[in-house]
Structure 1
Amino acid sequence: MPDTENTRLTAPSLPLGVLLSAGGGFLDAFTYVGHHGVFANAQTGNVVLLGISSATGHWADAVRHVPPLIAFVLGVLTAEALVLPRVARFVRRPMRLALVLEILVLAVLAVVPGGLGDTAVVVLVAYAAAVQATSFRTLRRWSYNSVMTTGNLRTATSAAFRAVAGQDREAAEQAGAFGAICLGFLAGAAAGAPLTLLLGDAATWPVAALLAIGLGLFLYDERRSR
């Protein structure tokens, strides 16, 4: 039986997908509210804000959006490198590693006295989120994004239309699953904003705990699928 991690097939768990998506929404709210309007996951937003700031001559604001973009690219490259055959000989469980890495990053951010500074925080979160997003790309039978919501919302809407217009049961299942993913992202963002205002960088503890639960679900689903 092929190794599900090396073939990039996440265990078919909707609860895991919802937890990962909620973590993604939480972290975008965390960096945007707590670290001067910069997104950790939503790089579309960073590109747009970078363009607006550059066009209006606000160069200091523009520069703030560059580090998370670079960190996100490096995170994607890291996740891709982990599944190369010569690397896979040493890293047998890259998807587990992706979640453990993100949990450790969030724990470090929560406990460092005085914080690491806005740029360092956003860079670390963007990097870890990119590793997660690249490692976890499959929900049941479909491709999805575990840290951003635009594509998931499009999929949910398209599937809902097919379900109603064509009485398509599989489309109805897909619409429900992706609707839950989008709601998870919204719930994470809604929780992330007030907790960040209340706790500062210590707000990463709740999302670290959420991802730890996700790791437990992943291990359970992996064992069950085998």
Structure 2
Amino acid sequence: MQRSKQVSESIELGILLTLAGGFMDAYSFVCRGGVFANVQTGNILLFGLHLSAGEFSQAFEFFLPILMFSIGIALVALIRYPLRNFQKIHWRQIAILFEALILLLVAFIPQSNNLLANNLISFACGVQAESFRKIDGTPVATIMCTGNLRSAAQLICDSVYTKERSMMKRGLMFYFMIAIFTLGAVLGNLCVGLWRESAILAGAALLAAAFVLLLVRHDAE
């Protein structure tokens, strides 16, 4: 598989973003009241369960992250075109720096305001989901695993019949990113055990490293 010339699609950046994705999901679930920052399918399920039980206030707590995730996606979709020709800084650099600053803010939000913390993290995840969607030209999610798992199994099975090694490599790449996401979740859980609310600073550090990578190896898009 040919390596992408765009740093925004590089495996190095994908690793940092996927580590951050797993970290944020573990942090929000373990430290912020059992809400998923990234996996909106889980939040939609829990929203429906509480709604059917007439627990409207609890349902609202799971609905808001879904909304904020969508707003994060919409924001990037709206601003990336006006900023495409901005010379001093790439729009993806702005997006990832903004995401890191949001996580920095979350570190100082107390447990009494977990709803705000979760909404901010979900918003940041929406920004990441829309800004970084490919690795080496292949659509890959850095904040969730379900689609990656399907793609991995399909590509590897297809490679058995087609004998195309590129399909096998792409399939293995998906499994590799799933392993990286899992590692991010492990790190997130360990950091929460050590630092509680402040653990999200480690997630912000991962995004800061990704920002530096984008800054040094500028994307000439």
**Is TM more than 0.5 here?**
yes
Identify unmatched segments of 5+ residues in structure 1.
1-8
Match of 1:210 in 2: 206
Q: Which amino acid aligns with 1:62?
A: A
- 1:136-181 residue CA offsets vs partner (Å, 9 max, x unmatched): 1111121121211111111111111122333211101201221111
Deviates more, 1:161-170 or 1:181-190: 161-170
Q: What does 1:1-226 align with in structure 2 at a 5 Å threshold?
A: 11-85=8-82, 88=84, 93-110=90-107, 112=108, 114=110, 117-222=113-218
Work out whether residues 138 and 144 of structure 1, in 8 Å CA contact, stay in contact via their aligned partners in 2: yes
Identify unmatched segments of 5+ residues in structure 2.
1-5
| Alignment RMSD | 2.3
What is the TM-score of this pair, normalised by structure 1?
0.86
Q: Which amino acid aligns with 1:97?
A: I
Q: Which amino acid aligns with 1:68?
A: P
Deviates more, 1:207-216 or 1:22-31: 207-216
Say how many residue pairs are matched: 216
User: In the TM superposition, what is the alpha-carbon distance from 1:126 to its structure 2 partner?
Assistant: 0.8
CA distance in 1, matches of 2:60, 2:110: 23
Match of 1:4 in 2: none
Seen in structure 2, the aligned counterparts of structure 1 residues 218 and 41 have a Cα distance that, compared at 3 Å, is same
CA distance in 1, matches of 2:49, 2:76: 30
Q: Which amino acid aligns with 2:60?
A: V
Work out whether residues 27 and 41 of structure 1, in 8 Å CA contact, stay in contact via their aligned partners in 2: yes
Seen in structure 2, the aligned counterparts of structure 1 residues 32 and 173 have a Cα distance that, compared at 3 Å, is same
What is the TM-score of this pair, normalised by structure 2?
0.88
Q: Which amino acid aligns with 2:28?
A: T
